[in-house]
Every structure is written in structure tokens, then in C-alpha cells.
């Protein structure tokens, strides 16, 4: 993970936010504007970390999932079910100290460039035409 961080930052000029989701057993390197999220199992295994570890053991290192932002996860979930995909890992988390992505629109239609944390809702769906797709919806903490 440290080598990946050094490559993205030093060779590609992408500044990554580095944080740990203890309850999920994941370390995350994140660059919203570049569209990069690198995850790795970390510490005691949690539900997401265990799923990532299982995937790595089976497939080796590489792309785990394509993550897309949405402002209406419930509609996405209905649409994914309609094409025969199922939600294999729902996500609900409060993440503090990490800014929201630029351009995320809050419930009051104000664009939020930076907040000290957010509530994430979403989830990872099983393979759709050979891809694992995840959708995430963000809200500032307290809204």
C-alpha cells in the first residue's frame, strides 16, 4: 500500500488522502478529483476487509470494483436488481475528518467543496458483465 501511495503521488502527481476504517478492516487511499480509491485489508478483519482479502486471494492484485457516485442509491439498487444483479455488500458508514468530493450536492442543493466528514450509503453489487460495480451516496454529517 505504501508503494502504491508513493507511485500515485510521486510519479503521477495525485495527492491521496490516507485513512483507516477500523470497523471494516480496510486502509483507504483516496483522491476524489482523480477518481482513485485504493483499498487494502488492514488490521483485524472486518466485513469489507474480509471480502477484499478473499477477492485478492482468488484473483491477485488489481481492480476490485468500479465505484460510481449517485445521489439516489435506492433507485440504483432497484435498477441493478432489474438487470439481475444483487447487492453483496451494503455500505453505511460515518467517516470523519475526510472532505466530501468536490461537487457533491447536499439535500439543500448547495454544492459542498469540503466538509470535515460525511455519511456514506451505498454498496457493492455482484458481477455485472464481468465487472463489480459499487455505488456510493454521500451526505455531510448532520444532514
What secondary structure letter does DSSP report for 100? P
**Chain-centroid distance, C-alpha 109:** 23
Q: How far apart are CA 68 and CA 135, in angstroms?
A: 5
Residue 109 is predicted with a pLDDT of: 47
Answer for the pair 94, 21: CB distance below 8 angstroms, yes or no.
Answer: no
Q: Residue ranges of the chain with pLDDT lower than 70?
A: 101-116, 142-143
Query: pTM of this prediction?
Result: 0.68
What percent of the chain shows pLDDT beyond 70? 87
Residue 5 is predicted with a pLDDT of: 93
Q: Domains in the chain, start-ordered, CATH in brackets?
A: 1-63 (3.10.180.10), 65-143 (no CATH)
Rg (CA), the chain: 15
Residue 87 is predicted with a pLDDT of: 93
Residues 90, 49, 31: CA angle, nearest 5 degrees:
80
Which stretches of 32-110 are assigned E, i.e. beta strand? 36-41, 66-69, 87-96, 104-105
Amino acid at each position: 500500500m505504501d508503494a502504491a501511495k508513493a507511485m500515485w503521488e510521486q510519479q503521477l502527481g495525485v495527492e491521496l488522502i490516507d485513512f483507516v476504517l477500523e470497523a471494516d478492516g480496510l486502509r483507504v487511499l483516496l483522491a476524489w478529483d482523480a477518481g482513485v480509491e485504493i483499498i487494502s485489508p488492514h488490521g483485524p478483519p472486518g466485513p469489507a476487509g474480509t471480502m477484499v482479502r478473499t477477492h485478492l486471494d482468488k484473483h491477485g492484485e488489481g481492480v476490485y470494483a468500479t465505484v460510481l457516485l449517485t445521489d439516489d442509491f435506492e433507485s440504483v439498487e432497484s435498477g441493478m436488481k432489474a438487470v439481475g444483479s444483487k447487492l453483496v455488500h451494503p455500505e453505511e458508514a460515518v467517516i470523519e475528518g475526510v472532505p466530501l468530493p468536490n461537487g457533491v450536492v447536499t439535500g439543500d442543493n448547495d454544492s459542498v467543496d469540503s466538509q470535515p466528514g460525511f455519511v456514506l450509503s451505498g454498496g457493492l453489487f455482484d458481477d455485472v458483465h464481468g465487472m463489480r460495480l459499487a455505488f456510493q451516496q454521500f451526505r455531510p454529517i448532520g444532514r
